[in-house]
Amino acid sequence: MGAGGMLSETEGGSVTGDVAVRYAARLENGVKTYGEGDTAIHALNGATAEFERGRFTAIMGPSGSGKSTLLHCIAGLDTLTSGIAYIGEIDLSTLKDRDLTLLRRERIGFIFQSYNLIPSLSAEENILLPLSIGGKQPDEDWYGTILDTVGLRPRLTHRPSELSGGEQQRVAAARALVSQPEIIFADEPSGNLDSKASAELLGFMRHAVDEFGQTIVMVTHDPGTAAYADRIIFLEDGRIVDEMYDPTADSVLDRLKSLGG
């Protein structure tokens, strides 16, 4: 993986210059160890990766290779044992808990396999929740564009129990986009969906990158899902071992076979 240029450190633990402009997120020599001594598990073992702005990147690898750990550490949901994770120019290890919470809320979107919708809220209330927590109003043009793209206008007053799985996941995707985040992290986002709903969700994510310039980083085990991305990075034993551009389902499957995934 390329280093992407020299870094300039600032007092607040941030980076300046072309690196922060080009990459929405970066991981440098990331190590994540669970446990100690002979029972220690090295989920990440010196992983380095960069995620360009306005690109759709998938993370793949065999079971236990460190895919979700890498995503969680870059997204500030977990902490590295050593190494540095950046969102834009910010070194996440320099942030206090409150600042990290604010950064996740204001600059990052999340789409998980479990939709994480609040049952008592309507679809619209769930979508707008990140803004409501921050006491902000949505940009009406942007919000309207999102609703039209995900096709949820007729369902906005419905609660999650009244929505299909595909509709619930589209609500989660709209919620991730509504605050216009710098980057969206998705962990097996279509894992609970049937093939039609999965294609709709992934098509929406692809559209968000192509039309809105969104940056998306997605963990998946499925070659067909990964084929929606611009680029795939492959993990094995907690390290980045390969990458692929303009993937197809067949080319991804062939590469995974060589990793044992």
pLDDT at 194: 86
In a domain, 33, yes or no: yes
In a domain, 109, yes or no: yes
pLDDT at 2: 37
pLDDT at 9: 40
Three-state secondary structure readout of 139-200: CHHHHHHHHHHHCCHHHCCCCHHHCCHHHHHHHHHHHHHHCCCCEEEEECCCCCCCHHHHHH
**CA distances, 31 to each of 43, 82, 85, 162, 221 (Å):** 7, 5, 10, 43, 22
Longest Cα–Cα distance in the chain: 56
Query: Which tokens hold the place of 210?
Result: 């192509």
Q: Is the pTM of this model over 0.75?
A: yes
In a domain, 3, yes or no: no
125 vs 8: CA distance, rounded Å: 41
Residues in the chain: 261
20 vs 69: CA distance, rounded Å: 23
In a domain, 130, yes or no: yes
In a domain, 1, yes or no: no
> Domain of 249?
8-259
- Find the angle CA(45)-CA(51)-CA(55) to the nearest 5 degrees: 145
Give the sign of the dihedral formed by CA 172, CA 103, CA 130, CA 151: negative
Total domains in the fold of the chain: 1
The H or E element containing residue 16 is strand 15-16
In a domain, 32, yes or no: yes
CATH at 190: 3.40.50.300
**CA distances, 32 to each of 38, 42, 47, 83, 191 (Å):** 15, 6, 9, 9, 25
In a domain, 46, yes or no: yes
Give per-residue burial for 168-188: e unless 16+ CB within 10 Å, then b: bbbbbbbbbbbbebbbbbbbb
Query: Which tokens hold the place of 249?
Result: 């389902």
In a domain, 2, yes or no: no
21 vs 160: CA distance, rounded Å: 38
pLDDT in tens, the chain (261 residues): 333 333 334 334 555 557 778 899 999 999 999 998 889 999 999 999 999 999 999 999 998 899 999 999 999 999 999 999 999 999 999 999 999 998 998 899 999 888 889 999 999 999 999 899 888 899 999 899 888 888 889 999 999 999 999 899 989 999 998 988 999 999 999 888 888 888 888 998 999 999 889 999 999 999 999 999 999 999 999 999 999 999 999 999 998 888 765
